[in-house]
A and B are shown apart, each in its own frame.
Chain A
Amino acid sequence: MLQAAPQGPALERGQGTIGRTFLTGVPAVSDNAGSEPGGFGAAAKEAGLASLVAVPVISEGRLTAAVAWYF
């Protein structure tokens, strides 16, 4: 099982596709992963990742996590 790394990189509310999901609680998609803000877009581009979808995980009305799938 993957271990959590809670001290890793962080995103502000509304920052990029994943941050937008955190802000709205609605899944968000981007067909241009390379345009994500900060270093995320460049890293996605370097890894050959073209697009992503961010999905909120909501429990008892509160967002407990956001999952991002890259394609």
Chain B
Amino acid sequence: MKTFIRAVEVWVPSVDRSILEFGGGLYGTATRFAAISRSLCFGRGEGLPGQAWEQGRPIILKQFDGSYFKRTAAAHAEGITCGIAVPIFAGDFLTSVLVMFCGDDEAHAGAIELWRNDPTVSTDMRLVDGYYGTTADTFEFMSRRTSIRRGNGLPGMAWESQAPVFFEDLGKSARFLRADSATKVGINRGYALPCSVQRDESYVMTFLSALGTPIARRFEMWVPDAAREKLVLAAVSARPAACCRPRRKARRWSAGRAR
């Protein structure tokens, strides 16, 4: 099964915080791209990870040619056409930059979107940009014309709660405002992650996928317990055909209960 995300990598500040160093990655079959990536580092403002660091907000880069992206030839050789960089801040402190890569395969229905609220401009959240694969023109058109109130819709709920939000069946959800457009292009599942940024704006990434090309093969959401000593499994999204994994199934994942 192909997934919408083709590769993921993590960049972490060096000890003196002057550059971002490679902190791990999953590249699937993109072995040449992986080898090049592992040998790189990025200064502030350099390449996609460095730009995310410099701008202090997530970036969706859909055109590598002529851009600041440093690995264009290797990416294109692997069919990688879009990069999404998400800086992760703990307060003002950059802990890392997460970069995801998507490809240009046919029938890659799905979307990764970036939503923003600038409180000096509006009380709503508007789309900054999105990667819509190859089949989601209708959905993209609708998304670019949608304003989302805090607490409404997938991005608005993540914005309000400052926690991940999952929808297992977008077409049947009255709380997903773009359900009709999503259903038309095969998008049926989505989740949203609030992003930590260094400014007074709010950002949310949404990940929307179709049955044939899920964002990933399985999602899990873990939350700290009351004492903040442990992480507790709070939600699971399993196989694309499944609605959601029942709790008794999730218990099979208990630590110490090897099967």
> Which residues of A are in contact with B by a Cβ distance under 8 Å?
1-13, 15, 18-19, 22, 24-29, 31, 37-43, 46-47, 49, 51, 53, 55-71
Is B230 part of the binding interface, using a Cβ–Cβ cutoff of 8 Å? yes
State in angstroms the CA–CA spacing of A24 and B95 once bound together.
Answer: 9
Q: Looking at chain B's contact residues, is the secondary structure mostly helix, strand, loop, or mixed? A: strand
> Which residues of B are in contact with A by a Cβ distance under 8 Å?
3, 5, 8-10, 12, 23-26, 28, 88-91, 95-96, 98, 162-168, 173, 175, 191, 193-194, 196, 215-225, 229-238, 244, 247, 250-259
Jot down 8 A-B pairs with beta carbons below 8 A, ordered by A: A25-B95, A46-B259, A49-B218, A58-B88, A58-B95, A64-B223, A66-B221, A67-B220
Contact call A1/B229, Cβ cutoff below 8 A: no
Whether A9 contacts B250 in the complex (CB less than 8 A), given A2-B168, A27-B10, A71-B216, comes out as yes
Q: Which residues of B contact A11 (CB under 8 A)?
A: 222, 230-231, 255
Q: Which residues of B contact A41 (CB under 8 A)?
A: 258
Whether A6 contacts B25 in the complex (CB less than 8 A), given A1-B167, A11-B222, A61-B90, comes out as no
Q: Which residues of A contact B224 (CB under 8 A)?
A: 22, 63-65
Known: A1-B166, A69-B216, A71-B28. 5 other contacts (CB 8 A): A10-B233, A25-B90, A27-B23, A38-B257, A70-B217
Contact call B223/A42, Cβ cutoff below 8 A: no
State in angstroms the CA–CA spacing of A58 and B203 once bound together.
Answer: 12
Q: What number of residue pairs across chains A and B have CB atoms under 8 A from each other?
A: 192
**Distance from A28 Cβ to chain B, minimum over Cβ atoms (Å):** 7
Whether A39 contacts B257 in the complex (CB less than 8 A), given A26-B10, A51-B26, A57-B194, comes out as yes
Contact call A59/B194, Cβ cutoff below 8 A: yes
The one of A18, A58, A70, A71 in contact with B222, judged by C-beta atoms closer than 8 angstroms, is A18
Contact call B219/A67, Cβ cutoff below 8 A: yes
State in angstroms the CA–CA spacing of A3 and B166 once bound together.
Answer: 9
Nearest A residue to B175 via CB reads A1
Q: Which residues of A contact B233 (CB under 8 A)?
A: 5, 8-10
Contact call A58/B255, Cβ cutoff below 8 A: no
Q: Which residues of B contact A3 (CB under 8 A)?
A: 235
Contact call B230/A2, Cβ cutoff below 8 A: no
Nearest A residue to B229 via CB reads A13
Contact call A57/B216, Cβ cutoff below 8 A: no
State in angstroms the CA–CA spacing of A66 and B231 once bound together.
Answer: 8
Q: Which residues of A contact B90 (CB under 8 A)?
A: 25, 58, 61-62
